[in-house]
Chains A and B, each alone.
Chain A
Amino acid sequence: MNEQHPLTQAVVDGRRKEVGALVTQCLEAGESAGSILENRLVPGMMIVGERFKQNEIFVPEMLIAARAMKEALKVLEPLLLVAGVKPEHTAVIGTVEGDLHDIGKNLVAMMWKGANIEVIDLGVNVPAAKFVESVKQHKPQLVGLSALLTTTMPAMRDTVKAIRDEGLAVKIVIGGAPITREFAREIGADGYSPDAGSAVDTAIELLRATA
């Protein structure tokens, strides 16, 4: 295993109580807030995400790391704000209208945040019009739609159509138990993620294609 920076390793290990001091040490050593985020924290969450994808760890262990990252961000955020550093990408995510399932959607949101994507979570039972409104307001590069019921798959189709009809330039990725790659293609979504673990890869792939 490659030796990681102590802050990166602390995020990977989920040592929440230690990360604040380690961030301060980095700052005192002259590292910028943006660099700490980009080169110390995000790599930590990427390692954790990869371990999860490889079935080496479970979600609770991944969340422990996410909480450590959140703790580090508490120290960094004011500095990032002053420096005008913002996440490069923004995503809007939600469970489509008529559907209340949100575990998968929440995990995807958490993993996207770990990959330094700003995530606007609209929650569950979200009408197509609200997605459109949110895309207009936040101007994300990515929209994530989730559905768990076969009877709410049409709402997913409606949402994609509503976004497309407005001519909004945004990549749409969909997922959920009854969803397939074929369905994604059929309704005009740009991507499909079979599980939360692969949602980061799908997002990065789509965002690279956008750049």
Chain B
Amino acid sequence: MHYKSLAIEDPSELIFGISPKPVLTRSGMVIGGGTVYPELNFTLPPMKIDAGTMPEVRHNYEQIIAGALGRAAELDAPGVVIEFETLPPMTEHPAWGLEIAKILLEGMQQEACRSGLKSVLRMTPNDNREFERPPLMRRGRYWDAMLELFEGSAAAGAELLSIESVGGKELHDEALVNGDLAGSLFSLCILGERDMRFLWTNLQTIADKHGVKCAGDTACGFGNTAMVLAEQKMIPRVFAAVVRAITAVRSLVAYECGAVGPGKDCGYENPILKAITGYPMAMEGKTSACAHLSPMGNLAAACCDTWSNESVQNIKLLGGMAPTCYMEQLIYDCRLMNTARGHGKESARQLQRWFVESDAALDPQAFILSPESSVALARVIVNSDSYYHAGVAVARKAVELLREAYGQGKLHIEPKEVAWFDTMQDDLDELPESESEFIGRQLALADRSRFLPQEYELKG
């Protein structure tokens, strides 16, 4: 484990707009330097993506960037982060993804010339490796195409590199629907950690070559899948909350390999990572309900450095095209936070408390990411001697925090979920101390048709 201590020890300092290690962009934005910036993400309306529809695809992105940035300039945004999260065919055919990235960069440049609006592009190629089943994680056409798109977009001027990587996911979905904490730990802290290290070492090489920044990853396919399944009442919220705590161990690896933030928006585990690393973080909450529901719409803003909408389709709403409308919403959200900050530390802390208090008692997934919980969880991670032990320790701490808050009447838990505290505790108590023993045990249980151990430096 690279990090041995916390960058932020005091929960009240785990606050929006300020990070111990801010990120400076070429256009002069200082992310984490005292201003919360809107971060807009968007996607296509229902349509096919192929060579024949590429003119329409291009038109959509031209329309999105012109409309959204125009509105940002009209509302005097202090700067904006534009995230281009590709769709699978755009990573499979890197030339298509690169073409769209250039359209966005050109739109950003034009708006900078027209109104002086500062902006930065976060490039997020989607991770297509799982198109192969079982996935090849370190080779093959999906790996090559993904790296080609990272390289091309970094060369073209995309300054922040991110991804929602999938290493370990091939076993994690099964762990989630089975309520299997050991399976989750194996996916996140053994497979996930190894894949993250390999992937982010490669991405850092690309970033260094082109003078851009690795921003960060997210355990979206793990923690957010759990959150959505809990929202759909398929798995217990307390289980999803504990899985969320474990995801921080996996996402941390990107920063160990050189990422400097802002962490990826849908990484709800980011407060824990900000406490550990001190790097700025993107977060999403109430203004990302267009993409998915969450139980922490306000709380998620408590320590954000950029504030995101996750993703919205380019469709017409009454107010205008959806990305333009969402740009406006994000700007107003950020204005409020920046105004509170402008009134001084106490005002900012008051708003931070309101963000937290309005959500924390109502859902275990919100509670576990409050500044207080995040710092407590971050501390057990940095005090651990391995990723496996960190995963187990942070899961134990999460169960302890949730159980204690429930016992003190500070947290609402549905009656049918309460028994899961004991179930999870028992599962954790049964885990071996030795990592190699744990790996051996999980390998014996794992469905080999779903994953290739050698892709994770494991012997089959």
A residues in contact (CB < 8 Å) with B:
55-61, 63, 98, 100, 102-103, 106-107, 123-125, 149-151, 153-155, 178, 195-196
Which chain B residues lie closer than 8 Å to A55 at the CB level? 233
**B46–A106 touching, CB < 8 Å:** no
8 tightest A-B contacts by CB?
A60-B179, A150-B46, A59-B234, A154-B48, A153-B46, A59-B177, A55-B233, A103-B173
* B89 proximal to A (CB < 8 A): yes
* B380 proximal to A (CB < 8 A): no
**B44–A59 touching, CB < 8 Å:** no
* B43 proximal to A (CB < 8 A): yes
B residues in contact (CB < 8 Å) with A:
43-49, 87-89, 130-131, 133, 173, 176-180, 225, 229, 232-236, 239, 313, 416
Distance, CA A205 to CA B357, complexed state (A): 46
User: Quick one: given A150-B44, A150-B313, A151-B46, are A98 and B235 in contact (CB under 8 Å)?
Assistant: no
Which chain A residues lie closer than 8 Å to B43 at the CB level? 150-151
Which chain B residues lie closer than 8 Å to A60 at the CB level? 177-180, 235, 239
**B233–A58 touching, CB < 8 Å:** yes
Distance, CA A195 to CA B233, complexed state (A): 11
Least CB separation from A151: chain B residue: B87
**B177–A107 touching, CB < 8 Å:** yes
**B177–A98 touching, CB < 8 Å:** no
Rounded to whole Å, the gap between the CB of B123 and the closest CB of chain A is 19
Rounded to whole Å, the gap between the CB of B417 and the closest CB of chain A is 9
Which chain B residues lie closer than 8 Å to A100 at the CB level? 130-131
**B47–A151 touching, CB < 8 Å:** yes
**B177–A125 touching, CB < 8 Å:** no
Candidate in B43, B46, B313 with the most chain A CB atoms within 10 angstroms: B46
Which chain A residues lie closer than 8 Å to B235 at the CB level? 58-60
Distance, CA A178 to CA B44, complexed state (A): 13
Least CB separation from B230: chain A residue: A58
Least CB separation from A156: chain B residue: B46
Which chain B residues lie closer than 8 Å to A155 at the CB level? 48
Which chain B residues lie closer than 8 Å to A178 at the CB level? 46
Least CB separation from A60: chain B residue: B179
Distance, CA A55 to CA B87, complexed state (A): 34
Distance, CA A102 to CA B172, complexed state (A): 12
Rounded to whole Å, the gap between the CB of A79 and the closest CB of chain B is 28
Least CB separation from B128: chain A residue: A100
Rounded to whole Å, the gap between the CB of B219 and the closest CB of chain A is 16
Rounded to whole Å, the gap between the CB of A174 and the closest CB of chain B is 13
A58-B235, A59-B229 known, 5 other contacts, Cβ within 8 Å? A60-B178, A60-B180, A102-B173, A150-B43, A195-B232
**B234–A58 touching, CB < 8 Å:** yes
- From B44, B47, B177, B233, A103 is in contact (CB under 8 Å) with B177
Which chain A residues lie closer than 8 Å to B232 at the CB level? 195
Distance, CA A20 to CA B439, complexed state (A): 31
Which chain A residues lie closer than 8 Å to B48 at the CB level? 151, 154-155
Which chain B residues lie closer than 8 Å to A107 at the CB level? 177, 234
Which chain A residues lie closer than 8 Å to B131 at the CB level? 100, 125
Rounded to whole Å, the gap between the CB of B361 and the closest CB of chain A is 21
Distance, CA A178 to CA B292, complexed state (A): 11
Which chain A residues lie closer than 8 Å to B416 at the CB level? 56-58
Subset of 9 A-B contacts with CB under 8 Å: A58-B233, A58-B416, A59-B229, A59-B234, A98-B88, A150-B47, A151-B46, A151-B47, A178-B46
Least CB separation from B44: chain A residue: A151
- From A58, A98, A123, B179 is in contact (CB under 8 Å) with A58
Rounded to whole Å, the gap between the CB of B416 and the closest CB of chain A is 7
Least CB separation from B417: chain A residue: A58
Distance, CA A63 to CA B177, complexed state (A): 8
User: Quick one: given A98-B89, A102-B173, A125-B131, are A58 and B46 in contact (CB under 8 Å)?
Assistant: no
Distance, CA A114 to CA B122, complexed state (A): 45
- From B46, B87, B89, B133, A124 is in contact (CB under 8 Å) with B133
- From B46, B177, B179, A154 is in contact (CB under 8 Å) with B46
- From A58, A123, A196, B133 is in contact (CB under 8 Å) with A123
Least CB separation from B176: chain A residue: A103
Least CB separation from B45: chain A residue: A150
Rounded to whole Å, the gap between the CB of A127 and the closest CB of chain B is 13
Which chain B residues lie closer than 8 Å to A123 at the CB level? 133
Which chain B residues lie closer than 8 Å to A56 at the CB level? 416
Distance, CA A63 to CA B130, complexed state (A): 25
**B179–A151 touching, CB < 8 Å:** no
Distance, CA A196 to CA B235, complexed state (A): 13
Rounded to whole Å, the gap between the CB of B198 and the closest CB of chain A is 21
**B44–A106 touching, CB < 8 Å:** no
**A103–B225 touching, CB < 8 Å:** yes
**B313–A58 touching, CB < 8 Å:** no
User: Quick one: given A151-B46, A151-B48, A151-B49, are A196 and B234 in contact (CB under 8 Å)?
Assistant: yes
Distance, CA A2 to CA B130, complexed state (A): 46
**A106–B47 touching, CB < 8 Å:** no
Which chain A residues lie closer than 8 Å to B177 at the CB level? 59-60, 63, 103, 106-107
Which chain B residues lie closer than 8 Å to A98 at the CB level? 88-89
